[in-house]
């Protein structure tokens, strides 16, 4: 059998994708499917760090946050990602994966704080590390946290697992004529204002020469195909 294309990856899991077909929250079957995908690549010996979003619970820029102080709303959003991280780690435990949740904001009674050398140690021990609370700062997103943590842990690639199967010329959920790129440069994605990831995340990855692969977490087997270096999703490159 061929070898994985990567030894260490940063997997960004969409919070919204956790909802499955539900209107909000965590859909049990969906989280179990996602975790099974992660288990498959972890068993290949790939070191997996995860950043989980919070869009299924709360976004600082959502209508529900209207009228709120933006920073307060953003802290609520970050706390939402902690809930998702706990659910994810628990679901991993059920399938025999040892996961450690590390939070960017101090809530030590709940999860341990993010300490870079400790995260690296866990990865080397074969544990899955789930980074919670984004960057720990308001006015950012978990996509930027994925770029940041990916760079910090020297991941070879950021894998953005989302509900669409790649980067399109426009939002495919809104424009039926949008076409998918097989690959695209950071500069072009930024210049064209492609909204699949925020520009801060794109710029950080570009500056750190950290490629991003955007692919569907809904498509069975897609994560393993990406890890094996097969043709899947869209590569965003320098």
Ligand X SMILES: O=c1ccn([C@@H]2O[C@H](COP(=O)(O)O)[C@@H](O)[C@H]2O)c(=O)[nH]1
Ligand Y SMILES: Nc1ncnc2c1ncn2[C@@H]1O[C@H](COP(=O)(O)OP(=O)(O)OP(=O)(O)O)[C@@H](O)[C@H]1O
Q: Residues annotated as binding site for ATP?
A: 12-15, 55, 59, 162, 168, 171
**Residue selected from 24, 45, 61, 173 as contacting ligand X according to rule CB under 6 A:** 61
Q: Are 55 and 16 in contact (CB under 8 A)?
A: yes
Name the token pair of 131.
């980074």
Name the token pair of 170.
């426009």
- Other Cβ atoms within 10 Å of 41 Cβ, number: 22
- Rounded-to-10 torsion of CA 218, 220, 226, 228: 160
Closest approach, Cβ 96 to ligand X, in A, equals 28
Binding status of residue 233 toward ligand Y by CB under 6 A: no
Q: State the Cα–Cα distance between residues 22 and 18, nearest whole angstrom.
A: 9
Residues facing residue 28 across a β-bridge: none
Closest approach, Cβ 139 to ligand X, in A, equals 6
Binding status of residue 30 toward ligand Y by CB under 6 A: no
Q: Are 44 and 227 in contact (CB under 8 A)?
A: yes
Binding status of residue 169 toward ligand X by CB under 6 A: no
Whether the CA torsion 82, 91, 58, 13 is positive or negative: it is positive
| 164 contact, one of ligand Y, ligand X, none, CB 5-8 Å limit per kind | ligand Y
What does residue 225 show for φ and ψ, rounded to 5 degrees? -60, -40
**Residue selected from 9, 10, 15, 105 as contacting ligand Y according to rule CB under 6 A:** 15
**Taking CB under 6 A as the rule, which mask of x and - marks residues 10-49 in contact with ligand X?**
-----x----------------------------------
Query: DSSP alpha helices (H): ranges in 45-191?
Result: 70-94, 116-124, 142-152, 186-191
Report the site for ligand X in 113-152 (rule: CB under 6 A): 134-135, 137-138, 140-143, 145
Q: What residues form the annotated binding site for UMP? A: 54, 74, 135-142
Summarize as ranges the residues that interact with ligand Y (CB under 6 A): 14-17, 53, 55, 142-143, 162-164, 167-168, 170-173, 194-196
Summarize as ranges the residues that interact with ligand X (CB under 6 A): 15, 53-55, 59-61, 73-74, 77-78, 80-81, 134-135, 137-138, 140-143, 145
């Amino acid at each position: 059998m061929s070898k994985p294309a990567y030894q260490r990856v940063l997997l960004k899991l969409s919070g919204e994708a956790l909802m499955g077909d539900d209107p909000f929250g965590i859909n049990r079957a969906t989280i179990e499917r996602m975790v099974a995908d992660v288990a498959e690549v972890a068993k290949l010996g790939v070191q997996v760090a995860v950043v989980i979003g919070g869009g299924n619970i709360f976004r600082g820029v959502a209508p529900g946050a209207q009228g709120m102080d933006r920073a307060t709303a953003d802290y609520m959003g970050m706390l939402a990602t902690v809930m998702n991280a706990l659910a994810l780690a628990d679901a991993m435990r059920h399938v025999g994966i040892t996961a450690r949740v590390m939070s960017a904001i101090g809530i030590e009674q709940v999860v341990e704080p993010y300490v870079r050398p400790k995260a690296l140690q866990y990865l080397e021990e074969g544990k899955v590390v789930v980074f919670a609370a984004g960057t720990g700062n308001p006015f950012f997103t978990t996509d930027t946290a994925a770029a940041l943590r990916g760079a910090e842990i020297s991941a070879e690639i950021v894998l953005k697992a989302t509900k669409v199967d790649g980067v399109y010329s426009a939002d495919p959920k809104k424009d039926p004529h949008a076409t998918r790129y097989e690959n695209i440069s950071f500069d072009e994605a930024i210049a064209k204002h492609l909204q699949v990831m925020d520009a801060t995340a794109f710029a950080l990855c570009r500056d750190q020469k950290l490629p991003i692969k955007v692919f569907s977490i809904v498509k069975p087997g897609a994560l393993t195909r990406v890890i094996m270096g097969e043709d899947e999703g869209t590569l965003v490159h320098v």
